[in-house]
Amino acid sequence: MKVMAFNGSPRKGGNTQTLLEAVLKGAASKGAETRLVNLRELNVKGCMGCDACKNELGKCFQKDDLSPLLQEMKDCDAIVLGTPVYWFHVASQFKALVDRFYCFYGWEPVPDTGELKETMAFPEGKKFVIVTSRGDQENTKAFPRLYEHLSEWLGVIAVAMQSSSTQFVNHYGSMNQKDSASDDSDLMARAESLGASLAP
């Protein structure tokens, strides 16, 4: 089993990364092969809207560090996405990643009518986890919609850590306190347990 995590935080060793590492540690404890990708360390470009991917659905034609990772995602059994909350929304590094998922999305004609229908060039049935970290518990309504759309479009299985229909590992910590997640032993244990649950 392979679990791939993307860290959308620009901060090295921040709370988002700490929680992602805990999820991966739990998965590794069950024998999973794990990989953490820190987007801040890579040359990642935003989607250009060129639509070249519509000629070869599932392939982004940009020449940067992210394009091969998008292909690698398709071979993973579980995907973990992490972002801090900056100015009421996801970090820019995380948004660049999500925008590039557009390469998997396209349309195909219905044989009988010729009408176009949506299609996804991404294998279904993968497990999917979201990790977020923010300074307070403000209600950011955009997140549930974003993550629900992501899981729907990618055809993945959302893994719940709490009873909410939104699938999160949520962390609320002190402003700019990088070790507030690691200081929360219950949260760290829950994150590891979630990672362990990804393995069959």
Summarize pLDDT for 63-83 with one digit per residue, the tens.
999 999 999 999 999 999 999
Per-residue DSSP letter, 166? S
| Token duo for residue 53 | 């991917």
Q: Which residues contact 68 (CB under 8 A, 6 or more apart)?
A: none
Higher-scoring residue by pLDDT: 127, 24: 24
- Region 9-19: mean pLDDT is 92
List domains and CATH numbers for the chain: 2-194 (3.40.50.360)
Alpha-carbon distance values, 30 to 19, 129, 186 (Å): 17, 17, 20
Q: Is the pLDDT of residue 84 over 80?
A: yes
Q: Is the pLDDT of residue 159 over 90?
A: no
In tens, the pLDDT along 103-114 reads 999 888 888 887
Q: Is the pLDDT of residue 50 over 80?
A: yes
| Token duo for residue 67 | 């394009």
**Report for 9-23, 98-112, 135-149, 175-189: range of highest mean pLDDT:** 9-23
pLDDT at position 61 is 95
Parallel, antiparallel, or unpaired for β 78-86 and 89-90?
antiparallel
pLDDT at position 182 is 84
Task: Fill in the amino acid letter for 36.
Answer: L
Alpha-helical regions (H) of 4-160? 15-29, 66-73, 92-100, 142-154
Q: Model confidence at 46, in pLDDT bands (50, 70, 90)?
A: very high
CB 24 within 8 A of CB 81: no
Higher-scoring residue by pLDDT: 138, 88: 88
Q: Is the pLDDT of residue 51 over 90?
A: yes
Q: Which residues contact 18 (CB under 8 A, 6 or more apart)?
A: 179, 181, 182, 188
